[in-house]
Structure 1
Amino acid sequence: MELLDQTVDDSVFTQHESEVRSYCRSWPTVFTRASGSWMTDTTGREYLDFFAGAGSLNYGHNNPIMKAALLDYISDDGITHGLDMATVAKGKFIEAFTQKILAPRGLDYKIQFPGPTGTNAVEAALKLARKVTGRESIISFTNAFHGMTLGSLSVTGNSMKRAGAGIPLVHATPMPFDNYFGGVTEDFGWFERVLDDSGSGLNRPAAVIVETVQGEGGVNVARMEWLRALSELCERRDILLIVDDVQMGCGRTGEFFSFEEAGIKPDIVTLSKSISGYGLPLALTLFKPELDVWTPGEHNGTFRGNNPAFVTGTKTIEHFWSDDSLTKEVHAKGEQINTAFTELAERYEGISTRGRGMVRGLVFEESATASKVCASAFGAGLLAETSGPSDEVVKLLPALTISTEDLGRGLQIISDSVKEVIG
């Protein structure tokens, strides 16, 4: 295509785009093409992508299966913008999602399309929980990240992101995430105590919102027993449980939903990022039928019905989630990453590793080292980001469909970069 073969003056970004841009500062080049797990810049240099659009490209760039379906739909004048009108594309997506995702897992959720991004799904979840219960307070967790709009920021832990709100973020109370105290004390001790103490100052919460793996927070993994205990606590106290599966859902941890392994059934679930399968904006808020107390139009948005995303999302579900083949692949590749990271942790002091499935973190006691490792990896042709409160974690989110050869190639680059920075 002629456009993709053209060059761009780099100064157009620095002169005209806002200073808020971030990822491009870590990866200072201009990208033009992408396929599978590889991106190409305008000089023709190729980069192995272990970032995958922050988890929105679980099936790689321009997956040919979804691309063919999308091109057919567009060329046939399929509806692009439909708000929440009934369309064939939306109907097919709902059928595929309910029949192949929800029903086999014994889940009977209503589906809401709240807007195009993850934070829209979270905002809808918080509003619904408050409407159902008549309560205002939400319990969140230390180091949580749920989005950049005001409601989502109120349940986010990162102080820099919260400060950007410019106003007090209220009606949310943080509690310690699993292992926050390093196993020194029982994590639920404080939570249960303040719930029971009339002098604690804690208003009875409408809901608890939790990530099973805190991606932005540093790849902090909740134990299955902790998640089960949290679910049981919420059920006993008539508190709604919201699982934010925006980044960890759609197979990132192996199973389609990250909470499946714990055997729990949250009251509300948020999905976005890879639900379209092709990187197209789409978000879902799922909830138990008895919670569907919305009145028509009470929560809406112009771009809540992205029909091209319905098309690619349907094809994704039909191709990748009709059996457990992808789940097995994710677990196997996750172990491949874990083995490589464990070897690095054993070879060098001040390094540890944690993660589930194909979200893995290499944790450095000296936080600045993580950014240096990512910079070195970029120089060697690999895209990887940092996370954690001090950016102390090299966080890997490769496409679930990446070949074992490319995965191994990227892990070698990480290993070489660690050696270059620490060695």
Structure 2
Amino acid sequence: MTITQPDLSVFETLESEVRSYCRGWPTVFDRARGSRMYDEDGHEYLDFFAGAGSLNYGHNNPVLKRALLDYLERDGVTHGLDMSTAAKRTFLRTFQDLVLRPRDLPYKVMFPGPTGTNAVEAALKLARKAKGREAVVSFTNAFHGMSLGSLAVTGNAFKRAGAGIPLVHGTPMPFDRYLDGKVPDFLWFERLLEDQGSGFDKPAAVIVETVQGEGGVNVARAEWLRALADLCARQDMLLIVDDIQMGCGRTGAFFSFEEAGITPDIVTVSKSISGYGLPMSLCLFRPELDLWEPGEHNGTFRGNNPAFVTATAALETYWTDGPAMEKQTRARGEQVEQWLASITEEHRADVAEFRGRGLVWGLEFRDKSRAARIARRAFDLGLLVETSGPEGEVVKLLPALTISAGELDEGMRLLARAVHETV
């Protein structure tokens, strides 16, 4: 692909140095549709990033776009704080009918603010309020957001350092297979809980991702998650599942914890819940935990009605027949897995491991700088992929759930070429 030098001057001179994704993809994007993005010079890129998982149904999904345009054209309410609106009512009813009831989930729904970290902050506050304790347990390599409460339960040292103050009341425990199976699951955790001399403050809750996306696509086993849920129940701790990136069908089922057969006390959802990349998040919890006083946790942009509209359209389009959606995602995941197995076989000396579920996969390299070079070469070839892991050692794949089998093969061929050409 021949790429002319884009005009990046205003971004480089006026925008903060904090920008990150644009440094790996040095072009100016102009439009997008489905799994394709186009820069202002017309170059085409196959998108295996999907807005960091916020575009599970692709860019400018035509069904969702039509619903949004119709709503705006009739002057539907766009901003409503937590006022009752027709758009919110329709979303709540649809979410209950298509997501909660079929799974026998009794959750109340809270709109805590427009971002994932808002949902996590609400979950942490509610758990502490319900249990009357301050401590929360998280896991190694976890990522839960960039606000202070979320950072306190995040593992990444670089992101934690950005807080500039001590991050307190969070205690990390080993994630599944962190110790390579040398120690029985939760041995240390349970020993601390039971020993009155351990100095360990009993937690209000445990927060976990079933698949750690930013942490390197680390996949928790179903049996590990069940054991964690059992430990929480026995020790009077609430179980919070952060499903912000892995929910909304990313791993196959609508919620990523369904495969394990557990029912968390609190669930955080964001990213693809709006279906269109519009900011929206949910904090779901058991009815007996609904202890909030009116206005005790609020925010100006929790009433994003255009997001309610597209979220409803996404649920009606893709989750009316949930098993079909799940089956397609699993089939696409098997397709990716076969490609990654082939790439690994060809580059045994370079690839440490590949892992994933549904349509989230990671390819880890022994040379920790290699993943970034592969991502940059993939960009040159017309493929957008990001890196993850504590040292950026994993090439992370997050294609849209709506991607075609042909587009998936096309992207995987480009990835295989990028791996080969960076040896």
- Give the secondary-structure state (helix, strand or coil) at the position aligned to 1:361: strand
Aligned residue runs from structure 1 range 327-338, under 5 A? 327-338=326-337
- For 2:358, the equivalent position in structure 1 comes to 357
How far apart in 1 are the matches of 2:280 and 2:119?
A: 9
Letter of the 2:420 partner, please give it: K
> Residue 113 of structure 1: CA displacement?
0.1
TM-score when normalising by structure 1? 0.98
Contact kept, 8 Å, 1:231 with 1:266, in 2: the verdict is yes
> Residue 8 of structure 1: CA displacement?
8.2
Answering whether residue 275 of structure 2 is matched by residue 277 of structure 1, we say yes
- For 1:403, the equivalent position in structure 2 comes to 404
- For 1:388, the equivalent position in structure 2 comes to 389
- For 1:22, the equivalent position in structure 2 comes to 20
Contact kept, 8 Å, 1:250 with 1:275, in 2: the verdict is yes
How far apart in 2 are the matches of 1:408 and 1:144?
A: 31
**1:270-325, Cα deviation, whole Å (9 max, x unpaired):** 00000000000000000000000000000000000100000000010011001111
- Number of residue pairs matched? 416
Among 245, 248, 268, the alignment partner of 2:246 is 248
Contact kept, 8 Å, 1:180 with 1:187, in 2: the verdict is no
- Give the secondary-structure state (helix, strand or coil) at the position aligned to 1:167: coil
Answering whether residue 418 of structure 2 is matched by residue 417 of structure 1, we say yes
> Residue 187 of structure 1: CA displacement?
2.7
Among 134, 138, 141, the alignment partner of 2:132 is 134
Contact kept, 8 Å, 1:330 with 1:400, in 2: the verdict is yes
How far apart in 1 are the matches of 2:30 and 2:324?
A: 32
> Residue 18 of structure 1: CA displacement?
0.1
- Give the secondary-structure state (helix, strand or coil) at the position aligned to 2:38: strand
> Residue 346 of structure 1: CA displacement?
1.4
- Give the secondary-structure state (helix, strand or coil) at the position aligned to 1:187: coil
Contact kept, 8 Å, 1:147 with 1:153, in 2: the verdict is yes
How far apart in 1 are the matches of 2:134 and 2:269?
A: 23
Contact kept, 8 Å, 1:253 with 1:330, in 2: the verdict is yes
TM-score when normalising by structure 2? 0.98
Among 287, 290, 309, the alignment partner of 1:289 is 287
Letter of the 1:69 partner, please give it: A
Contact kept, 8 Å, 2:6 with 2:27, in 1: the verdict is no
Answering whether residue 53 of structure 2 is matched by residue 52 of structure 1, we say no
How far apart in 2 are the matches of 1:47 and 1:284?
A: 31
Letter of the 1:392 partner, please give it: E
Report the RMSD for the aligned CA atoms in angstroms: 0.9
How far apart in 2 are the matches of 1:168 and 1:199?
A: 25
Q: Which stretches in structure 1 are left out of the alignment for 5+ residues?
A: 1-6
How far apart in 2 are the matches of 1:157 and 1:198?
A: 26
How far apart in 2 are the matches of 1:136 and 1:210?
A: 17
How far apart in 1 are the matches of 2:391 and 2:300?
A: 37
How far apart in 2 are the matches of 1:186 and 1:45?
A: 51
Letter of the 2:324 partner, please give it: S
- For 1:70, the equivalent position in structure 2 comes to 68
- For 2:219, the equivalent position in structure 1 comes to 221
How far apart in 2 are the matches of 1:8 and 1:361?
A: 30
- Give the secondary-structure state (helix, strand or coil) at the position aligned to 2:251: coil
How far apart in 2 are the matches of 1:405 and 1:171?
A: 48
How far apart in 1 are the matches of 2:147 and 2:90?
A: 30
- For 2:153, the equivalent position in structure 1 comes to 155
How far apart in 2 are the matches of 1:336 and 1:390?
A: 27
How far apart in 1 are the matches of 2:220 and 2:33?
A: 33
- For 2:93, the equivalent position in structure 1 comes to 95
- Give the secondary-structure state (helix, strand or coil) at the position aligned to 2:409: helix
How far apart in 1 are the matches of 2:376 and 2:357?
A: 24
Q: Which stretches in structure 2 are left out of the alignment for 5+ residues?
A: none
**1:146-192, Cα deviation, whole Å (9 max, x unpaired):** 00000000000000000000000000100000000011111311000
How far apart in 2 are the matches of 1:271 and 1:92?
A: 18
The ranges of structure 1 where at least 4 consecutive aligned residues each deviate by more than 3 angstroms after the TM superposition are none
Letter of the 2:74 partner, please give it: D
Contact kept, 8 Å, 1:80 with 1:308, in 2: the verdict is yes
How far apart in 2 are the matches of 1:77 and 1:344?
A: 51
**1:203-252, Cα deviation, whole Å (9 max, x unpaired):** 01000000000000000000000000000000011100000000000000
Aligned residue runs from structure 1 range 357-376, under 5 A? 357-376=358-377
- Give the secondary-structure state (helix, strand or coil) at the position aligned to 2:31: strand
How far apart in 2 are the matches of 1:225 and 1:60?
A: 32
How far apart in 2 are the matches of 1:9 and 1:19?
A: 17
**1:372-403, Cα deviation, whole Å (9 max, x unpaired):** 11111000000000000010000000000001
- For 2:41, the equivalent position in structure 1 comes to 43
Aligned residue runs from structure 1 range 206-217, under 5 A? 206-217=204-215
- Give the secondary-structure state (helix, strand or coil) at the position aligned to 1:233: helix
How far apart in 1 are the matches of 2:185 and 2:140?
A: 12
